[in-house]
Each structure stands twice: as C-alpha cells, then as structure tokens.
Copies of this chain bind each other. A is one copy, B any other.
Amino acid sequence: MDQAVSQYDIGLDKTPANFVPLSPVSFLERSAHVYSKLPSVVYENRRFTWAETLSRCRRFASWLVRQGIGRGDTVAAILPNVPAMYETHFAVPMAGGVLNALNTRLDAGAIAFMLEHGGAKILLVDPEFSAVITDALSRMKGSKPLVIDVDDAAFSGGRRIGQIEYEAMLASGDPEFVWALPPDEWDAIALSYTSGTTGNPKGVVTHHRGAYLNAVSNILSGGLGQHPIYLWTLPMFHCNGWCFPWTIAAAGGVNVCLRKVDPAKIFELIETHGVTHMCGAPVVYTTLINAPPRGDTTKQSMVSGLVAGASPPVAMIQGAEGIGIKLTHVYGLTEVYGPASVCAEQPGWDDLPAAERAKLKRRQGVAYHLQEDVTVLDPQTMKEVPRDGETIGEVMFRGNIVMKGYLKNESATREAFAGGWFHTGDLGVLDAEGYVMIKDRSKDIIISGGENVSSVEVEDVLYKHPAVLFAAVVAKPDEKWGEVPCAFIELKDGAKATDAEIIAFCRNELPGFKSPKAVVFGPLPKTSTGKIQKFELRNKVKSASAIGGV
C-alpha cells in the first residue's frame, strides 16, 4: 500500500473539535445530561439519579486530586457491589487515576502483594474486610495507602480502620469539579490481578479505549437496548464487572446493587425492580436454579442473563429457561476486559428443542461486535485450525479489547502477545460455523491411553444426572493408561448417588476411555466468581495417589 502523503493528509489534522480520546467516563456525562432525573443506582433504601451520580463522582474525583492523585496513580478498592464501588469506576479515571479493584475473597498476603506491586496510594474498604485489610497493611513493607472506610447500613460487623469515611469525603468534595479526559485513550484505566494458581498474580493493565469499546460491545452483543434494569450479581471487582459499570451508564440504565449472591434476595429484586439483564458465572445460575422457586414466572418477562467463567452445561441452560432466565454465553478473560466473545444467536434457534438449543448456546462463539477477532490457531504455526470441530488449537484474541499488558512484567506481556495475538491458554476447536468451542485449559486435558479426553465433555454428561449440583473432572495418574478421568461431585441438597451409579450413567453416554474411573463426593472448592478450582482437586488427586487413595 502506498504510504506516500496524499491530498487527504494535508491540512486535515486532529483538533479539539474533531478528536477526543475515547473514555467510558464520557458515558456518565452523557447520561447525567440526557437522563438527569432517571434512576442510576439503587441499593437497599438508597436511590440515586444520573445527575446525582455524576455530582457524587465529581466530588470524589476532586477529593482525589486534592490528595495528589493524578495521571497513572493507583487507587485500590475492596468493596462489594455497593454504590461507592460503582462511583469509584468513574471518579478514579476522572482524576487520572487507575482503579485496582481487589477480589473480596483474597487473603492478607495476596492483598499486601497487590497493594505493593500496584503502588496503591488510596484504598477504599468495606467494613466486612476491615480485619483482612488491617492484616494486609501490617504486612506491607513500603508506604501504605490512605484508607477510606465505606460504611454500609446494610452490613453489621467490621470496624472503621481508615482516615476518613466515604460520605464525609464526598461532602468535602466539589460537585462542580471540572475533570479532564485522559490525554491519550491508551492511558491505563484499571489494574486487575489474575488469580494465578502458581506464583505471584499478574497485574492486567487495561486502557480507556478498550474499556469504552467493550462497554459498547456489551450493549450490542448482550442486546441491552435502552434503559436496561441491570442486577449486579456479578462482582464489580471481577474484570471491572466485565465493563458493565460503564455499559449501564452508556445505556442510561439502572444499576440494581447487591451485596452478595442470595437467591431469595435476587428473586425479590428481579420482581421489585423489573430486572431485565444480569451477568454471572455458571455458579450464580446453578444456585438460582436449585433455590426455592421465585413467584409465578409466567407472569414475568424473561430476564436476559449473560454467563461466562466456564462453559455452561446444557442442563444449566435449560434449567435457567425454566426459571425465566434466557442465557447468552459469553467468553473472555481478565486480559480481554472480561467477555470479548459471544455465542451469537442465529435466527431460528428459538424454534429448536431446548436441549438442541442449549448445545448450540454453550459454545464460546465469535468475536464481540467491537473486538476484531477471536479464533483457534495452531500455536506453532499460528495458522487457523480447520473448521472440523476436532482439531485442537489455542484460542486467541486480537483487537482493541485486549489489555495493554502485564504491569512490570515485560516478558509475560511479550509471551502473551507473541505472533500478534493474545494467547488465552485455552484449548479449543472451530466448528463448521466457525464458532470457537473450548475443549479445556491446556493443563486440564486428560490423556488416557494416548487419547485426549476433554474434561468439559465429561462434566457436561455428569451435569445431566439429576442428583448432581456441581461436577469437575481432572486427570488421575494411572499405571496402565497414563491418566484416567476422575470425577469430583457435589450433590444437590438431599440427593443421593453412588460412584457405581455415576460411572454407569457416564458409560451410557460416553466411550469407555472418557468415562470416569473414580468418583469423589463432597463440596467443591470454588473461586469467588464461581470457577471450580481444579488445581486444588488435582492436588488432592496427586497426594491421594501418592498414598494409594482415591
């Protein structure tokens, strides 16, 4: 392509009139202007309008600037889905800062590491986490962040450990504070640590441009339309709530906040507020499906639910429909701002039998509207695998909804972006339609007698068993076959099953080498976002194998 100067390059430069850095904070300004009196955030008996939310964020940002926070300074928060957490997603970037939202289930050691590594200057703390934060701060070697307590009338317990309380801080701020967009849309907006299972977690740095584009993609790919009523079942600390704080501002919707996932409360909020959309890991939906039923769902309109975090079992997709939730499967990782691919629905799916539809819907799918590409490549040749549903390669993303990189970790960044694609570490195939379908994490594949066994495939069969609440399959060392599948199962309340029954059930649906050879019953270890922690199960298998158990 000719790169010489053309007539279109002369006298047609960027000016403040025709070029503005893309930042999701702009969405808040727009909704505060256009929908000033409409509800923005509701939580327990508190209600805010979009004008009020903007005014509170401006107060907060002005206070941050007065504390010396500026471009590239880190502000951390360990908060449930309360209004302050929502506001933090706007106020911190308004001040030029970078938001480091901390997983509320972390231990003191991990938190101390993140606060030191990210260099947090300010830390917002909910009373529920006052003890673990006190412990974490005492472990820090360098300078400690200034702590803001975020009191919550809906929570009893914990104590104030900070220098100022959130509402008092806001009261001292300037509601007319004139904030500025970042000088460059490539500037960092957030820092999110991955839950690394070995070694120290990695700090994923995202930017304003990507957050803006993914926030809009959520509207398009999730079918949010105008004024969605969004229930905060997904933690905002998890990849910044998949960018939904910014999405809901862009769509002029309502944020229905929620301290924790409690089925009775969720059903109540859906009814009271007329919730239209929600997000969550499979565990959220499984919990709802197995909870005492909500009222007469036939009278209510369906809730659209996005599900990600693990491939949703067919039984779960069907079960969700039964309680009035229509699921769309999205897929991603912290490195791609949460979900950045969607199992895009095709016309006609609604006419299919539920089981067939569910099978189609559990694929990882195609790139989000504003993501450039997701596909499956052979990591050696970087060539796309054939669309045969069988050839396994690595799932990779490319486009503007991919992180800046890992903080202070150039080698990991380089490795993640090798060959011009972001390497997810997930193994998958492309089917005839070109949809990505994940078979496993690379370390989750079981190799039995030289054959690859996808643990996802075996788990999917297990989830069809009426007694199974959660299931996970990992490799168990075996003298004859090298590895064999071992199933860990958490049964539904009051349900019973034996290992022989479970194995027979699988043998009925799977070839012999794919069926579990051992079954272990008991509660499964899960991360705060509902991912089953397979590494713990693998450790259990290894130590048990060493002493001849399982």
A residues 60-85 in Cβ contact with B at 8 Å: 70-73
Chain B hits for A330, CB < 8 A: none
User: A119 with B410: in contact, given A17-B398, A347-B227 (CB under 8 Å)?
Assistant: no
Which of A7, A8, A226 counts the most B-chain CB atoms under 10 A from its CB?
A8
Q: Are B180 and A1 in contact (CB under 8 A)?
A: yes
Chain B hits for A250, CB < 8 A: 220, 369
| Identical subunits present | 2
Q: Are A11 and B410 in contact (CB under 8 A)?
A: yes
How far is A73 from B6 in the complex, measured between Cα atoms in Å?
Answer: 8
User: Chain B: which residue is nearest A27 at the CB level?
Assistant: B369
Chain B hits for A26, CB < 8 A: 372
Chain B hits for A34, CB < 8 A: 344, 366, 434
Chain B min CB distance to A311 (Å)? 19
Q: Are B20 and A398 in contact (CB under 8 A)?
A: yes
User: A33 with B400: in contact, given A2-B96, A7-B408 (CB under 8 Å)?
Assistant: no
Chain B hits for A33, CB < 8 A: 366, 434
Q: Are A11 and B420 in contact (CB under 8 A)?
A: no
Contact count band on A? 35 or more
Given contacts A12-B407, A17-B417, 19 further A-B contacts (CB under 8 A): A1-B71, A1-B96, A6-B71, A7-B72, A8-B187, A8-B191, A8-B205, A9-B72, A10-B408, A12-B205, A12-B413, A17-B397, A17-B398, A17-B402, A20-B400, A26-B372, A34-B366, A219-B220, A223-B226
15 A/B residue pairs, CB under 8 Å, sorted by A: A1-B71, A7-B119, A8-B98, A8-B407, A12-B413, A14-B186, A18-B400, A19-B186, A19-B400, A20-B372, A20-B400, A22-B400, A30-B366, A34-B366, A216-B369
Chain A contacts to B: CB under 8 angstroms: 1-4, 6-20, 22, 26, 30, 33-36, 38, 70-73, 96, 98, 119, 180, 183, 186-188, 191, 205, 210, 216, 219-220, 223, 225-227, 250-251, 344-347, 366-367, 369-370, 372, 397-400, 402-405, 407-410, 413, 416-417, 420-422, 434
